Structure 1
Amino acid sequence: MTRQLAMIPGDGIGPEVVAAAIEIIEASGVKATWTELHAGRAAHEKFGDPLPEATLEGVRAADATLKGPTATAKGIGFRSVNVALRQKLVLYANYRPAKTMPGILSRYEDVDLIVVRENTEGLYSGLEHEVVDGVVESLRIISRKASERIARFAFETARKQKRKRVTCVHKANILKLSDGLFLECCGRVAKEFPDIEFNDSIVDATAMQMVRNPQEYDVLVMENLFGDILSDLSSGLVGGLGVTPSANIGDGIAVFEAVHGTAPDIAGKGIANPTALVLSGVLMLRYLGEEGPADAIEQAVRSVILAGETLTGDLGGKADTAQFVAAVIGQL
């Protein structure tokens, strides 16, 4: 079967890491036709829109989309492309696994957890306005529909991957209505999955415990802003954003992306580390049911990193992007 896939090169090092990931995916034997779509600062400069309607249509039409990092100005300029993509395409579930990788310097061993983040509402969705001069109000929306939907995604993920526990992360002790509703919805959905243990944890205590003993956690589910913060924290436990993948999943639509920045200081130099996007491509292949190639690529990446002979500069080596890609393909 030939897969109809889309790719968004993005900004900065985006085109380089996207090209690297595609080369490795194709070397694994997956048959695919790729359609290039545009988003980010480069799209804004070329089309006057950081997220053209044609890009949204292309993502909807594809079996899945692989996306490079896109630039967003801080405080000014156009809205975040990532947020807009998630909301306009209702990519309600952000899936961020964090797993220890031998060969990557980290303070911890045997970390293997998943952060499941609600993607469409909450404070992070950017509903804010100026009330009067010098006073800005941000709205934090939590709904029963979205809360139950993300809770069910977390439990279904746990069951599919034979995980033992789902932890609802919240601040219901203070935000009694909004987070109270989220916690209630998680508890209600938990009753549909008697084979999965369920507990809950206050977000600040969770952050502390993730640093003290990350092995305590299995699958964590939370609202948008908490998920944005704790998913990056979980990446830090296993080596950083450069080695952790990410997926944004809706009903029949999915975008797989690297969550690191565009690194404009090294763009075009051919030294970018493509690991995060390659592993996001692994998530994409699993989503498509291509388990064999997914397993092969993941094992190849792990073997190259463990060997330590062909690592990019951010991982302590001297290899360039092409050399890392060649090493991974050599393992394949």
Structure 2
Amino acid sequence: MVPGDGVGPELMTAVKEVFKLSPLSWLILASHLFLLPFSPHPLGETRRGVVLHEEQQSRHQGRKLDLFANVVHVNSLPGYSTRHNNLDLVIIREQTEGEYSSLEHESVSGVVACLKIITREKSRRIAKFAFDYATKKGRSKVTAVHKANIMKLGDGLFLQSCAEVAELYPKIKYESIIIDNCCMQLVQNPYQFDVLVMPNLYGNIIDNLAAGLVAEPV
């Protein structure tokens, strides 16, 4: 187990609680041992198991390996009553660009600039992934989540790229929605959504909101 930092240690404590009845045994490793994905396995060749690591470290590895699509299937659990039952929607986020690229610096003391990078190539790639996913899984609609009303260039390029790719999939309905409104609509009527595709930061927000829709008991 590689707890990482931030909320990592707290999350991993919860993971251990979930698996306490399993035959697993845990070996806690320092986060730096997981930085090199192709280095010799820190547990040695004779051990077999699963390495659990905190999300911040996972994002670092994801960018190095170009793991560009994060797919979260939000599905209600049978027999577990929540505010919204029988939910079945998919959240797809691009995870190599945007604010989570950690491209920030302190220009002068007390002034920090954080760069949000959006490219046509990677925006089209994640849009195509979303439409291909919808096609393969028999989904009927893809919704692009954005903030192009304010970030007209960056999110505008993402939105334009999604619209261009949508034209290649005439059998899949395409919509777009501003991130603010998307959050409100998910709380009020999540059944209107099927597959949602979005940049990285919005995906992190929507992932957690959607988890609450299927996890909070009435």
Per the shorter chain, which TM-score range? 0.7 to 0.9
Q: Which AA in structure 1 matches 2:151?
A: L
How many angstroms apart in 2 are the aligned matches of 1:177 and 1:57? 43
Name the structure 1 match of 2:60: 84
Q: Per the alignment, in what secondary structure is the counterpart of residue 236 of structure 1?
A: helix
Once the 2 structures are TM-superposed, how far is the Cα of residue 50 of structure 1 from its aligned partner?
A: 4.4
Structure 2 contact 37–61 (Cα < 8 Å) conserved: no
Q: Per the alignment, in what secondary structure is the counterpart of residue 150 of structure 1?
A: helix
Once the 2 structures are TM-superposed, how far is the Cα of residue 70 of structure 1 from its aligned partner?
A: 2.0
Deviations 1:88-146 (A, max 9, x none): 11100000010111233411112111000000010122111111111111100000111
How many angstroms apart in 2 are the aligned matches of 1:20 and 1:161? 34
Matched, 1:98 2:74: yes
Matched, 1:42 2:29: yes
How many angstroms apart in 2 are the aligned matches of 1:148 and 1:134? 36
Structure 1 contact 18–66 (Cα < 8 Å) conserved: no
Matched, 1:52 2:36: yes
Once the 2 structures are TM-superposed, how far is the Cα of residue 16 of structure 1 from its aligned partner?
A: 7.3
Structure 1 contact 121–140 (Cα < 8 Å) conserved: yes
How many angstroms apart in 2 are the aligned matches of 1:222 and 1:235? 17
Report the count of equivalent residues.
Answer: 200
Deviations 1:242-266 (A, max 9, x none): xxxxxxxxxxxxxxxxxxxxxxxxx
Matched, 1:10 2:2: yes
List alignment gaps of at least 5 residues for structure 2. 4-11, 43-48
Once the 2 structures are TM-superposed, how far is the Cα of residue 170 of structure 1 from its aligned partner?
A: 0.5
Name the structure 2 match of 1:126: 102
Structure 1 residues 16 and 225: CA distance shift in structure 2, 3 A: same
Name the structure 1 match of 2:214: 238
Task: Work out which of the residue numbers 137, 141, 156 in structure 2 matches 1:165.
Answer: 141
Q: Which AA in structure 2 matches 1:42?
A: L
Structure 1 residues 15 and 137: CA distance shift in structure 2, 3 A: same
Structure 1 residues 57 and 206: CA distance shift in structure 2, 3 A: farther
Structure 1 residues 133 and 156: CA distance shift in structure 2, 3 A: same
Structure 1 residues 139 and 115: CA distance shift in structure 2, 3 A: same
Name the structure 2 match of 1:192: 168
Q: Per the alignment, in what secondary structure is the counterpart of residue 38 of structure 2?
A: helix
Give me the identity figure in percent.
41
Q: Which AA in structure 1 matches 2:196?
A: L
Name the structure 1 match of 2:194: 218
Structure 1 residues 55 and 204: CA distance shift in structure 2, 3 A: farther
How many angstroms apart in 2 are the aligned matches of 1:202 and 1:56? 45
Structure 1 contact 158–164 (Cα < 8 Å) conserved: yes
Once the 2 structures are TM-superposed, how far is the Cα of residue 230 of structure 1 from its aligned partner?
A: 0.5
Matched, 1:183 2:159: yes
How many angstroms apart in 2 are the aligned matches of 1:56 and 1:107? 47
How many angstroms apart in 2 are the aligned matches of 1:97 and 1:83? 19
Q: Which AA in structure 2 matches 1:135?
A: V
Structure 1 residues 49 and 167: CA distance shift in structure 2, 3 A: same
Structure 1 contact 95–114 (Cα < 8 Å) conserved: yes
Structure 1 residues 238 and 153: CA distance shift in structure 2, 3 A: same
The list of structure 1 runs, each at least 4 consecutive aligned residues, that deviate by more than 3 angstroms after superposition, is 9-23, 53-58
Structure 1 residues 43 and 55: CA distance shift in structure 2, 3 A: farther
How many angstroms apart in 2 are the aligned matches of 1:10 and 1:155? 34
Once the 2 structures are TM-superposed, how far is the Cα of residue 68 of structure 1 from its aligned partner?
A: 2.6
List alignment gaps of at least 5 residues for structure 1. 1-8, 24-37, 59-64, 72-79, 241-314, 316-332
Q: Per the alignment, in what secondary structure is the counterpart of residue 68 of structure 1?
A: coil
Task: Work out which of the residue numbers 94, 104, 107 in structure 1 matches 2:83.
Answer: 107
Once the 2 structures are TM-superposed, how far is the Cα of residue 166 of structure 1 from its aligned partner?
A: 0.1
Name the structure 1 match of 2:150: 174
How many angstroms apart in 1 are the aligned matches of 2:40 and 2:99? 24
* TM-score for both structures, normalised by structure 2: 0.81
Structure 1 residues 20 and 199: CA distance shift in structure 2, 3 A: farther
How many angstroms apart in 2 are the aligned matches of 1:116 and 1:191? 19
